[in-house]
Amino acid sequence: MCRLLASLLSFVLAVLIAPPACAVAVTLNVVSVNLLHFGQGSTTAQKCAQLNALAQTTDVILIQELMTSAYPCDAVVPRPAGFLWQPALPPGQGSYTEYFGVLYANTAAGHARLALTTTAPPTLAPNTFSRPPAALLFYASPAAGGAGRYVWLVNVHSIWGDVVGPRQQEARAAAAFGIQLRSSTAMVPGSNPPYQLNGATPVLFGGDWNLETNRANGSVNPGFSVFSANQFAFAPNNQTSLTPPGNLSKRYDHFVYSTGPAAAAALTVATPQRLPCPPAGFPCQPWRNNVSDHLGIRTIVGIP
Amino acid sequence: MHSTFVKAVASVLTLALPAFIPLRASGAYFALPAQCTQGATGSDYGGDPLYGAFWPTVSIQYVQRNQNVYVPTVTLTPTADGWNYAFIPPVSGESYLVVATYTPFLQSYAAVWPTSSGLFIAPLPPAGTITHAAASVVSSATIQLTTAVGSNVPLPYGFLEMAPDFPGSSPYTLQADANGKVAIDCFTILSGGNNGTVSTPDGYYAYDASFSFSETNAAGQAVLRAR
């Protein structure tokens, strides 16, 4: 749609001052990865090395299954220059508490620049999630400078449970949450000049949903039907989990992103795919042994 | 896990153990199979051996108005010979079921009765502590994957996912061989069946099932099937 609109507008661009409404203002290279008990055990250094390698070509890394609120790598290897860390704490039960984390470029050369706001997300309905998703509002600016855009980045790690029903229910609840985020009209604290969200803020989820988005016949999994009915799209649906020998197994890691209803909320998402297995392909046992039972996923997101 | 299970465990322990005694470990001890300390399936969870740097997980629950309620905060502290857990009982005089998870297939159970509302500290039940009368730890088990629940048609190279018994846990994924068999070393057989999810060889969801003991194979291993 954007291409069509851009083609039509190209005839009159000479007399127009404003660019097409759907032009991409900011591009983000985003990775999402479940790092399997990140911060516990003896493999933290290997995980950190992989994160630093990923950060070279990535603006934002959404991390699931983090076991400490502090950035585990700070005690192991230097953080990539110009990157900041933001944890989020979903409630746990018992001794098991998982955090989410976001590693993001703030002043890193050659990267988009992200500034975290303190804007609180809409309140979640009680008891809808075993592990509520963590939504953060960022102001993202182009690497080359210039005006930025607000975008919600949301970390997800769905419950498992014993059967598929609760997993699907959590995905539907996440869709309701995404709609709330997109339509928020909250004031952004500290914005100068004061800025109020316009009810059409783009939303990008990344995470381990413990659920495939589409079935083998291509039909949408009932868990993702609320997303697809409300102008959210999802990808990839590749096999991203790994068995102990490092073979691909389940299709659990996905981005979910707003595609409307207003042009301002329509993200363009390019080539979402799983990360390659470094360095020698499958079976991906070194990664499975030393990093995670999930390969991450990557995409390039255009914010209008 | 259903509240009836919590009650059943508490009931068994009430008969078997003197109440109001902080327990070193409660319930029946099984001689832990050697496979549980050397090469237990899932002991690479986090890349570490069963008794290594990896922390076990403990969850504690009780029954309130016929519902299982989890104690929200439990801390775990390493000791010279194991672990201590600590929690503040939300309800004093209540029995609490303690579940310690060592691998996705090896959990230990205990029940305790804190006598006050203050901080309760006790040693974590070590691996091989089983309180549920009908549960056992076996050195190895074979889970037979089939194309559907109740089917006898094997599902070659299908995936089996089982999750540890605590809230927030993630599933551990294993792949069947050409005969649809999944071999697991060091496995806790639960009396109510072990829940799992089966997927096709290309990674699509097939069905959820409870796997229960079916027979012993020629190698002397317990065989579980979806019922």
- Stretch A34-63: mean pLDDT, rounded? 94
The span from the CA of A156 to the CA of A170, in Å, is 10
Task: Residue A206: give the domain boundaries.
Answer: 29-303
Domains delineated in chain B: 3-130 (no CATH), 136-226 (2.60.40)
pLDDT, tens digit, for every residue of B23-78? 233 444 556 777 777 778 887 655 554 444 456 888 899 988 888 888 988 888 88
Dihedral of the alpha carbons of B49, A163, A273, A174, in degrees to the nearest 10? -120
For the domain that residue A275 is a member of, what is the CATH number? 3.60.10.10
pLDDT, tens digit, for every residue of A247-271? 999 999 999 999 999 999 999 999 8
- Per-residue pLDDT band at A203 (split at 50, 70, 90): very high
Residue B85 has pLDDT above 80, yes or no: yes
Lowest-confidence segment of A229-243, B56-70, B152-166 by average pLDDT? B56-70
Residue A21 lies in a domain: no
CB contact under 8 A, B208 and A160: no
* CB-based contact A269:A32 (threshold 8 Å): no
Nearest chain B residue to A160 by CA: give it.
B170
Residue A23 lies in a domain: no
Residue A92 with chain B: CB contacts under 8 Å: 72, 167-168
User: Which position has the higher pLDDT, B31 or A273?
Assistant: A273
Residue A6 lies in a domain: no
Q: Give chain A's mean pLDDT.
A: 90
Q: According to the 3-state scheme, what is the secondary structure of chain B?
A: CCHHHHHHHHHHHHHHCCCCCCCCCCCEECCCCHHHCCCCCCCCCCCCCCCCCCCCEEEEEEEECCEEEECCCCEEEEECCEEEEEECCCCCCCCEEEEEEEECCEEEEEEECCCCCCCEEEECCCCCEECCCCCEEEEEEEEECECCCCCCCECCCCEEEECCCCCCCCCEEEECCCCCEEEEEEEEECCCCEEEEEECCCCCEEEEEEEEEEEECCCCCEEEEEC
- Tell me, what's the pLDDT at A9? 41
pLDDT, tens digit, for every residue of A109-138? 999 999 999 999 998 887 788 889 999 999
- Tell me, what's the pLDDT at A294? 95
- Per-residue pLDDT band at A99 (split at 50, 70, 90): very high
Nearest chain B residue to A65 by CA: give it.
B170
Give the gap in angstroms from C-alpha A211 to the nearest C-alpha of chain B.
8
CB contact under 8 A, B205 and A212: yes
Residue A1 lies in a domain: no
Residue A21 has pLDDT above 70, yes or no: no
Residue A18 lies in a domain: no
Residue A158 lies in a domain: yes
* CB-based contact B179:B127 (threshold 8 Å): no
Beta bridge partners, A232, equal A258
- In percent, the amount of chain B with pLDDT more than 70 equals 79
First-last CA distance in chain A = 13
Residue A251 with chain B: CB contacts under 8 Å: 203-204
Nearest chain B residue to A286 by CA: give it.
B47
Instruction: Classify strands B96-103 and B106-112 as parallel, antiparallel or unpaired.
Output: antiparallel
Residue A215 with chain B: CB contacts under 8 Å: 204-205
* CB-based contact A29:A58 (threshold 8 Å): yes
- Stretch A66-83: mean pLDDT, rounded? 93
DSSP 8-state class, residue A19: P
Count of domains for chain A? 1
- Stretch A282-297: mean pLDDT, rounded? 92
Query: A92: burial class by Cβ within 10 Å (0-12, 13-18, 19+)?
Result: buried
Nearest chain B residue to A163 by CA: give it.
B208
The span from the CA of B28 to the CA of A38, in Å, is 34
pLDDT, tens digit, for every residue of B103-122? 888 888 888 999 888 999 99
Predicted model pTM: 0.87
**Number of C-alpha atoms within 13 angstroms, CB side, residue B56?**
29
Kindly provide the ipTM of the predicted complex, given to two decimals.
0.86
Best B204, B207, B208, B212 residue to mutate vs chain A (most A CBs within 10 Å): B204
DSSP 8-state class, residue A162: S
Residue A19 lies in a domain: no
Chain A, chain B: beta-carbon pairs less than 8 Å apart: 125
Q: Give chain B's mean pLDDT.
A: 80
Q: Identify the residue whose tokens are 């933290």.
A: A44
pLDDT, tens digit, for every residue of B185-215? 999 898 889 999 999 999 999 999 999 999 9
The span from the CA of A288 to the CA of A127, in Å, is 33
- Tell me, what's the pLDDT at B44? 66
CB contact under 8 A, B205 and A42: no
Nearest chain B residue to A238 by CA: give it.
B203
Residue A190 has pLDDT above 60, yes or no: yes
Residue A11 lies in a domain: no
Smallest Cβ distance to A244: which of B44, B76, B197? B44
CB contact under 8 A, B195 and A162: yes
